[in-house]
Amino acid sequence: MGKKSTNKRLTKRDIRALLLSFFEENPDRDFGIKTLFQAIHASTHPAKMLTIDVLAELVADDYLTVQEGSIYRYAIRSQVMEGTFQRKRNGRNTFTPDDGGIPILVFERNSRHALDGDRVRVTFLARRPGHAREAEVTEILERKKDTFVGRLQVEKGYGFLITESRSLAVDIFIPKDKLKGGKTGDKAIVKITDWPDEAKSPVGKVVDILGAQGNNDAEMNAILAEFGLPYEYPEKVVAAANELTDGITPEEIARREDFREVTTFTIDPRDAKDFDDALSIRPVGQGLWEVGVHIADVSHYVHEGDIIDKEAERRATSIYLVDRTIPMLPEHLCNGICSLRPNEEKLAYSCIFTLNEKAEIQRWHLAKTVIRSDRRFTYEEAQYILERHGEASEADLALPGEHPATLPKDAPREGDFAQEIITLNRLAKQLRNQRFSKGSIGFDRPEVRFEIDETGHPISTYIKIAKDANKLVEEFMLLANRSVAELIGKVAKGKKPKVFIYRVHDVPDPEKLEGLRAFVAKFGYKLKTEGSKTDVSKSLNHLLDEVHGHEEQSVVEMVALRAMMKAKYTTENIGHYGLMFQHYTHFTSPIRRYPDTLVHRLLARYAEGGRSVMKGKYEDLCEHASAMEQLASNAERASIKYKQVEFMADRLGQEFDGRISGITEFGLYVEVLENGCEGMIPLRDLAGDYYEFDDRNYCLVGRRHHKRYTLGETVRIRVAKANLERKLLDFALVSDDNPVLAPVERPTKKSKHKRRRR
């Protein structure tokens, strides 16, 4: 505790010394501003103002950290700490303590060859006046990653792996006997085996040769390997799967509800092979429909702890790259036994709903079933039926492309099961309306897809847009997922629900939501950021409706998405904000998502009166599934980026109209309007001024001439560079006066400008 100063006015130096002394005496506690005033006896208004100034300086100098509500704590709890190391290519690495706090600088000379994500122990170095606090790695406790993907450069008696990894700034040395036959130009996976203290580069061995650089299979497998994802299936697991038969015996059928004679069909993408959901429909009374949501009964074939289950748990999800699917389950299961293929008897786990004409649930139940799909529809085929019969939405009909002529209202139905599809579509639209009336948020962002040739080379692009046929299937999957979650999660008052897996989505980050409000205000739109969750979500939906069709639609949707939290799996049910469901899970895709298989098992266990499972075990499984889902998503984006660069490499020098889709301190990201490919205009290539990044207003502003480049603005670009190895696409800005604006010298009055120029 600082000493009381009664005879003289506290100076800034006094306050700094008192605060530092106080926090050093209490390194493990948090303090509010009023407590700090009392601790150093800052009782006068001037002393309090000085204290606030000093606290801000101590935060800026990394001595203290501040949390929401002006809660301060000592940034350094101990001279020796453990935490996570983050490697940067510029050598200014950082260390983040396990108990949180601001990252601490670790220069390369003090890193002890730690790699990105490693758990390390550090010692803090003596603080130099005017410099950031530094730490030195003293021990590597746990390696997060020791394998890297790159291109081999082979010399006479050794080789190197040249990697573009941001987390490894040096190449990996490979002795000749560890090259595994690799040649210069091969894409390879290399494992670091040693990194002597005095050596600049680590030593490694080749784990696998993926193929020649530029070969499509090699590049796609390299993307998977970069994220630590599997690109091959273990032979033992494939062999175990191949031994399985469908197991549909008379005894098994007798244990199930029989839907083989009920009209049933699947609706999937045209290139799908793993059909994990089907819909059935039949009238069951005046104005009543029985709709069955039938899901492949994967858990009948994949049992907890068996070799197939362990591999599925490890993978957690199927991965969808531009040109291929890396399945969670072996092909014999995902495309064969479990897939709900037409005209084959299949085992399913089904939600059977009785709905009235308003799509209100009259009753429903969960059942193990046996089904036989009558028809396999693609989304395009189902959409054709809807448009042909005048059942498609105006938004769908307004989309570019060919649309069939609409039949007269009294004309007989055309096409297989047309009446069933039309009825399901009408019910789905009412379900959708119910959902949105309760605040469910509608993000229907178009996605860029590629047409590729037999070698995997992209030859054209198209935009994937969710139409009524897609939304039909989506609504019934949402209905099943919500109903199943409610079955377990909703319990009588005073009773505790059994452990279950939920798909949750937290409320938006308030700061980002406020940023969105300020951003859309520049376009003349309003957004409510206070009130109930439903009030805010309805306001957000209103905003999305308002911007639809306007030039700023894409950018407003993008900024709105950034304000949203990521959905994840957990045993703690906090609800799903985006859907505005209090209970939600994933039940409908067990062929491609491991959490769905777990949900099936838990439902079966609890239906038989089984006790609740261990929460900790299932929370660990949830965390793993969420992490693998994120990795798979990252790999998918990387494959799309690779194909974008490959596609635009054939168009070097060509000009396109584009829209600014992102702004950073490094330059402008521009999305080509014609094909959706995104590249960067580097800041160094913007001519005529020195530009500064305004992150609050999503723009770059010229210091001298005040030229602004704003998110959503339309610009004309030329394709300048395409680097496939680094997946980088560079554009040059084209002006009306000058074909390409040339870069200009940056101001050099201040040293920080010189640093930026480098």
Look at residue 2 in the predicted model and tell me its pLDDT.
47
**Residue 574 CA from chain centroid, whole number:** 19
Residue type, 11: T
Cα 295 from Cα 745, distance rounded (Å): 63
Look at residue 99 in the predicted model and tell me its pLDDT.
72
Digit-coded pLDDT (tens) for 538-560: 888 889 888 887 777 878 888 88
Q: CA angle 166-167-168, nearest 5°? A: 95
Residue type, 561: L
Q: Reply yes or no on whether the pLDDT at 736 is more than 50.
A: no
Digit-coded pLDDT (tens) for 294-307: 999 999 999 999 99
SS3 of the chain: helix, strand, coil, percent, to 5: 30, 30, 40
Q: Reply yes or no on whether the pLDDT at 719 is more than 70.
A: yes
Query: Average pLDDT in the 244-249 region?
Result: 92
Look at residue 89 in the predicted model and tell me its pLDDT.
67
Look at residue 291 in the predicted model and tell me its pLDDT.
98
Q: Reply yes or no on whether the pLDDT at 15 is more than 70.
A: yes
**How does DSSP assign 332-370, residue by residue?**
IIIIIISS--BTSEEEEEEEEEEEETT--EEEEEEEEEE
Q: CA angle 635-640-645, nearest 5°? A: 125
Confidence of residue 97 (pLDDT cuts 50, 70, 90): confident
| DSSP conformation class of 208 | E
Digit-coded pLDDT (tens) for 349-397: 999 999 999 999 999 999 999 999 999 999 999 999 999 999 999 989 9
Of residues 480 and 743, more confidently modeled:
480
Cα 264 from Cα 283, distance rounded (Å): 13
Query: Average pLDDT in the 611-637 region?
Result: 96
Q: Reply yes or no on whether the pLDDT at 143 is more than 90.
A: no
Structure tokens at 312: 């599925």
Predicted TM-score (pTM) of this structure: 0.83
Strand pairing category for 264-268 and 375-378: parallel
Q: Reply yes or no on whether the pLDDT at 77 is more than 80.
A: no
Look at residue 585 in the predicted model and tell me its pLDDT.
98
First-residue to last-residue Cα distance in the chain: 47
In b/e form, how buried is each residue of 612-649, taking b as 16+ CB within 10 angstroms? ebeeeebbebbebbbebbebbeebbebbbbbbbbbbbe
Query: Average pLDDT in the 621-648 region?
Result: 96
Query: Average pLDDT in the 694-719 region?
Result: 87
Look at residue 524 in the predicted model and tell me its pLDDT.
87
Q: Name the 3-class secondary structure at 66.
A: strand
What percentage of residues in the chain have a pLDDT greater than 70? 94
Q: Name the 3-class secondary structure at 381.
A: helix
Query: Average pLDDT in the 105-126 region?
Result: 87
Q: Is 526 exposed, middle or buried (0-12, 13-18, 19+ CB in 10 A)?
A: exposed
For 41-45, 320-324, 643-647, which range has the lowest pLDDT when averaged over its residues? Answer: 41-45
Structure tokens at 747: 């101001």
How far is the CA of 632 from the CAs of 196, 327, 358, in angstroms?
Answer: 34, 11, 38
Structure tokens at 658: 């584009």
Look at residue 130 in the predicted model and tell me its pLDDT.
63
Confidence of residue 7 (pLDDT cuts 50, 70, 90): very low
Q: How many CB atoms lie within 10 A of CB 365?
A: 12
Structure tokens at 526: 């309003």
Strand pairing category for 345-356 and 288-296: antiparallel
Structure tokens at 291: 């709709």
Name residue 700's beta-bridge partners. 693, 709
Mean pLDDT of the chain: 89
Structure tokens at 464: 């994937």
Query: Average pLDDT in the 733-748 region?
Result: 47
Digit-coded pLDDT (tens) for 494-523: 899 999 999 999 988 888 888 888 888 888
Query: Average pLDDT in the 441-467 region?
Result: 87
Look at residue 712 in the predicted model and tell me its pLDDT.
83
Look at residue 132 in the predicted model and tell me its pLDDT.
72
Query: Average pLDDT in the 218-226 region?
Result: 95
How far is the CA of 252 from the CAs of 255, 369, 371, 674, 706, in angstroms?
Answer: 5, 10, 12, 54, 75
Strand pairing category for 655-664 and 345-356: unpaired
Cα 681 from Cα 666, distance rounded (Å): 9
Confidence of residue 10 (pLDDT cuts 50, 70, 90): confident
* Long-range pairs, 309-315, Cβ under 8 A, ≥24: 311/233, 311/234, 311/237, 312/594, 312/597, 313/594, 313/621, 313/624, 315/230, 315/594, 315/628
Q: Reply yes or no on whether the pLDDT at 78 is more than 70.
A: no
What percentage of residues in the chain have a pLDDT greater than 90? 59
Query: Average pLDDT in the 386-414 region?
Result: 92
| DSSP conformation class of 571 | S
Look at residue 737 in the predicted model and tell me its pLDDT.
42
Q: Reply yes or no on whether the pLDDT at 733 is more than 60.
A: yes
In b/e form, how buried is each residue of 20-47, taking b as 16+ CB within 10 angstroms? bebbeeeeeeebebeebbebbbbeeeeb
How far is the CA of 139 from the CAs of 84, 113, 570, 581, in angstroms?
Answer: 12, 10, 33, 47
3-state SS, one letter per residue, for 261-287: CCCEEEEECCCCCCCCEEEEEEECCCC
